[in-house]
Amino acid sequence: MRSGNRDSRDLKRLFVDPVVNMCPVWFVFLLLAALKPESIAAVHENNTGLNFIAVFPENIAYYHPSHPQNQVQITALYDNTQVIIKQSSYDTSYLTLTAAEKRDIILGKKLEMRKQDISDRTLQITSTKIITVHAISLKDNSVQTALVIPTDKLGTEYFIPPIPTIQGTTDSDMVTTSVTEKGPFRIIVVNADQDNKITVEGAMPSEVLLQPYQNTQILLNADAALRTVKTDQPAAVLFGHTCAMRHNCSCGMLYTLLPPAEKKKLNYFIPPVLAKDAEAETFVLLSEGKSTKVEAFNPKSPLVRTSGTAVLYRPGLLLTLIPETDFGSCYAVNFISNMINRAVIIVHKDFIYGIHVQHLPLESPEWETLKGTEFVSTHITLLSGKTIIWHSHSKMAVYFLGQKDSTLFGNPAAMISKTPDFRGCAVIPEVVQIGEEAASWQESLKYCKDNNMELVSISEAKLQEQIKEKIMQANNDNLREVWIGMRRSSLNGEWYWLNKDTVESTNWDEGEPGTVQDGQCVSMSLETGKNFVWSDKDCCHAARPVCYSSPVLLPMYWS
């Protein structure tokens, strides 16, 4: 597996230091420059990272002698990924993972939270290279799953959703801590690695001081009307119930991880499958801080627009919804043995083609239109080892939906990348840069190499289309032409790519290329209506270069 060879000093130099060459050149970035795997978590808008914290609420839906089977599921994105797992003060374990390997770590009951106000029963996960983490709480038929967010992407403000009406739990005035299924909803605040003051705002506000890696449970009593969690330092916040009533006079643990507060209007799409067989009992819990609202799910209006938190509730399931702004191109999805595992996919109706499960295209899905929108959804059953879902040229939302007997549970899938690539799941996206000043082909070649890149070689037709789209997005200067990484051999007169790819798919302009006397280097036209055609030019001709570095792709196998 290829890995990036640039570090943070290279990135700083690209932004700050002038380049001394035949002429000064500054660059417009189309994508953020790639870093080493060890530091990539700090620059990517995804769910990968190097440090994670997780908790496991007390699962009291089933009693002695049933024991919890808490576990975390870790997916590595690079070979030789060293992972350290620390279970509070109990024990520490170590493991080494290869690229694309998924590993289940069984934690048992030691880490399960009790009823203390403040606890140190927190799981700490650190790794040398980026990973994704899912938490699984399991006790007989009481199952909940959560996507664990890296600590560097946690927030300091969270909106608390309104309490859903649940028959047998919250539908009467008798909410009491003395009866399990009649207990109040609660939030759990999980602290990271610094001392932290937690402030919960509402009609009866409260404050809690937490030391590193401590957590606290706060009951959401109706009189307190708690609406917002604010923290001095980043923390994670869970919302739910220890044993909310379900069908058939049974209860089950019910939790979801809240996202940091949004304060701008965002679109959330609800696929009909999430309400299947429970439409009348499905609600959307909306919170914008001081104001909250519970909306019944309406299949004719599957679009919810809010500037706060949006959580879907149906019996057994609390699901934090993914806003359209957080759609991605590649996801790692949970898989739990001996259960039904599904992926729910939402995508724009114009991009239903291009979705892959591992290396294979998605086969004949049945699409449901999300009424009143331009989006559609489908759900597929997952097989063991078939849990990487990616799109070759668009963004989408992906959820995990699990089922054990009649129990439904789920969470947003872990986004690995936001940048589509026709070649696969881009752990580090390709980088395309356009120089701001014109220089000769040789000077342009040197500049790219000085920045650990190369003049772009675009031998494949699909790559040409992908590069063209990114150039169009960034060409704000009405450029007429740019250098690319093709030239004529002085030995035999044949054209060749700098990266040694075979010259097969070409895009020469009419009458091009000319003779050896006409030019030895290749420029690409950016003129409107020219369709990015190529021409041969004298290599001393001045044009702006297109520099390029290849993506790091996740291997499409499973260990």
Asked if 342 and 402 touch (Cβ cutoff 8 Å), the reply is yes
Which residue has tokens 């309104």?
A: 162
Sign of the CA dihedral with 96 first, then 98, 99, and 104 last? negative
Supply the pLDDT for residue 222.
84
The Cα–Cα gap between 390 and 328 comes to: 9
User: Would the pLDDT of 4 be above 70?
Assistant: no
Supply the pLDDT for residue 177.
57
3-state secondary structure 19-81: CCCCCCCCEEECCCCCCCHHHHHHCCCCCCEEEEEECECCCCCCCCCCCCCEEEEEEECCCCE
**ω into residue 65 within 30 of 0, thus cis?**
yes
Supply the pLDDT for residue 559.
38
User: Would the pLDDT of 398 be above 50?
Assistant: yes
Supply the pLDDT for residue 33.
29
Supply the pLDDT for residue 13.
29
3-state secondary structure 139-174: ECCEEEEEEECEHHHCEEEEECCCCCCCCCCCCCCC
User: Would the pLDDT of 3 be above 60?
Assistant: no
- Residue pLDDT, tens place only, 301-320: 999 999 999 999 999 899 99
Name the pLDDT band for 22 (thresholds 50, 70, 90).
Answer: very low
Main-chain dihedrals φ then ψ at residue 9, nearest 5 degrees: -65, -40
- Residue pLDDT, tens place only, 102-119: 999 988 677 888 777 898
Q: Looking at residues 541-554, what average pLDDT do you find? A: 95
Supply the pLDDT for residue 62.
66
User: Would the pLDDT of 28 be above 80?
Assistant: no
Q: What DSSP character marks residue 438?
A: -
Q: Looking at residues 267-295, what average pLDDT do you find? A: 92
- Beta strands per DSSP E along 349-464: 355-357, 360-361, 368-369, 375-381, 388-391, 396-404, 407-412, 414-417, 426-428, 431-435, 454-455
Supply the pLDDT for residue 348.
98
558, burial (CB in 10 Å: exposed 0-12, middle 13-18, buried 19+): middle
The Cα–Cα gap between 128 and 50 comes to: 7
Q: Looking at residues 534-543, what average pLDDT do you find? A: 95
The Cα–Cα gap between 115 and 215 comes to: 11
Half-sphere exposure of 523 (CA within 13 A, CB side): 28
User: Would the pLDDT of 347 be above 70?
Assistant: yes
Residue 57 Cα distances to 123, 210, 257, 434, angstroms? 12, 18, 12, 51
Q: Torsion angle of alpha carbons 366, 270, 349, 392, nearest 10°?
A: -90
Residue 148 Cα distances to 123, 195, 544, 556, angstroms? 11, 21, 44, 23
User: Would the pLDDT of 85 be above 60?
Assistant: yes
Asked if 554 and 416 touch (Cβ cutoff 8 Å), the reply is yes
Supply the pLDDT for residue 1.
36
Length of the chain: 559
Name the pLDDT band for 476 (thresholds 50, 70, 90).
Answer: low
Number of H helices, E strands in the chain: 3, 41
Q: Which residues are CB-contacts of 35 (< 8 A; sequence separation ≥ 6)?
A: 4, 6, 7, 8, 11, 42, 43, 428
Residue 49 identity (one-letter amino acid): G
- Residue pLDDT, tens place only, 165-193: 888 777 766 655 556 667 789 999 999 99
The Cα–Cα gap between 443 and 431 comes to: 20
Q: Which residues are CB-contacts of 382 (< 8 A; sequence separation ≥ 6)?
A: 333, 335, 341, 342, 343, 357
Closest Cα to residue 486, out of 457, 466, 510? Answer: 457
* Superfamily covering domain 8-34+429-553: Mannose-Binding Protein A, subunit A (3.10.100.10)
Q: Which of helix, strand or coil describes residue 138?
A: strand
Q: Which of helix, strand or coil describes residue 473?
A: helix
- Residue pLDDT, tens place only, 412-460: 999 999 999 999 999 999 999 998 889 999 999 999 999 899 999 999 9
User: Would the pLDDT of 39 be above 70?
Assistant: no
Supply the pLDDT for residue 23.
33
| Beta-bridge mates of residue 283 | 296, 313
Average pLDDT, the chain: 86
Name the pLDDT band for 284 (thresholds 50, 70, 90).
Answer: very high
What ranges do the domains of the chain cover? Answer: 8-34+429-553, 49-417
Q: Looking at residues 470-486, what average pLDDT do you find? A: 85
